[in-house]
Structure 1
Amino acid sequence: MIQIRKATDADIDALIKSRCRTMREVCGFSEDYEFSTEFMEATKEYFLHGDGTTVIATDDSTGAPQIVGNATLCYTNMMPTFSHPSGKRAHLMNVHVEKEFRRKGIARRMIELLADEAKEHGVTEISLDATDDGRKLYETMGWRTNNEAMVKDL
């Protein structure tokens, strides 16, 4: 049975391992790829103290729950605009479900939980960076492509 819930501080070690699996898959890294100390410490710091919410999907069928999916919503406050008068926005990151658990509605349920929470926080827009595989799901959930932004890496 798959349970979806907000992650807590007690989930930190399993959550970091799950995010590393996500990043290895999305970035095409090998399973033995080692992330930098800076990356690992910043990830832990964000999960414990950052302005966001992470949800996890756990498989409880094996006795000890195992994380099989995760997604994070990062909150941002920007100067208000006419279309976003509160200035409260969010960015959805790292929506990931382990391969053997895909196509069962887990990602959709995690995204819906985070979107509901965002509404409760007064968020007026959620952005995301979609992979080709994820784009289909997001479109069925009402997400649309927005060509308004430009970015610069520093």
Structure 2
Amino acid sequence: MEYRYATTDDMNLMIRSRMDTLRDVNSLDEDYKFSEEFLEASREYFREGDQSTVLAIDNGRAVGCATMCYIDLMPTYAHPSGRRAHLMNVWTNKDYRRQGIAEKLVTMLIEEARGRGVSEISLDATEAGRPLYRKLGFVESGENMTMIIQN
């Protein structure tokens, strides 16, 4: 198993793993087709966004992935750098689960975030993912509120 940071040369692997993640998390059919708008916006974010994506590769195939998106906000008392991150797209192929792949990928991203001066990492967790995130030190937060804006 090879663990590595993705580059733009890995665009097809990143897009494929993103689609696999969303199909899995949202219980979509394996042949579900994403819109070209979604695919192009994803490609642009992987090219231009302030993010790092790590991949687990087995025989040239991405069998796991995770992405850390970096966010600069106004500094606060609790977060004097204003540098925060959001972990997303954590996924492992069903045939490779329970082998420590997601833990390795997330740990790589946490260490990078620490090196980049991040003071807080947030994430949206599935029930299946919560035990891993707790093990790595994430805690439930009752502080946040969100609003979904429909366009």
- What TM-score do you get using the length of structure 2 for normalisation? 0.96
State how far apart, in whole Å, the 1-side matches of 2:77 and 2:7 are: 35
State how far apart, in whole Å, the 2-side matches of 1:147 and 1:36 are: 34
Partner of residue 23, structure 1? 22
Partner of residue 48, structure 1? 47
- What TM-score do you get using the length of structure 1 for normalisation? 0.95
SS in 1 for 2:32: coil
Which of 116, 126, 129 is residue 131 of structure 1 equivalent to?
A: 126
Q: How far off its partner does 1:13 sit? A: 1.0
Greater Cα shift, 123-132 or 30-39: 30-39
How many residues matched? 149
Provide Cα deviations, 1:103-147, integer angstroms capped at 9, x if missing partner. 111100101100010011100100000000000111111110001
- Does 1:92 pair with 2:87? yes
Partner of residue 148, structure 1? 143
Partner of residue 99, structure 2? 104
Moved over 2 A (4+): none
Partner of residue 113, structure 1? 108
State how far apart, in whole Å, the 2-side matches of 1:116 and 1:141 are: 12
Partner of residue 12, structure 1? 11
Q: How far off its partner does 1:37 sit? A: 1.4
State how far apart, in whole Å, the 1-side matches of 2:17 and 2:114 are: 26
SS in 2 for 1:132: coil
Partner of residue 70, structure 2? 75
Partner of residue 122, structure 1? 117
RMSD, aligned α-carbons: 0.7
State how far apart, in whole Å, the 1-side matches of 2:36 and 2:43 are: 11
Partner of residue 57, structure 1? 56
State how far apart, in whole Å, the 2-side matches of 1:89 and 1:5 are: 22
Provide Cα deviations, 1:33-83, integer angstroms capped at 9, x if missing partner. 1111111111000011111000000013xxxx1110000000000111111
Q: How far off its partner does 1:15 sit? A: 1.5
> Unaligned regions of 5+ residues in structure 1, if any?
none
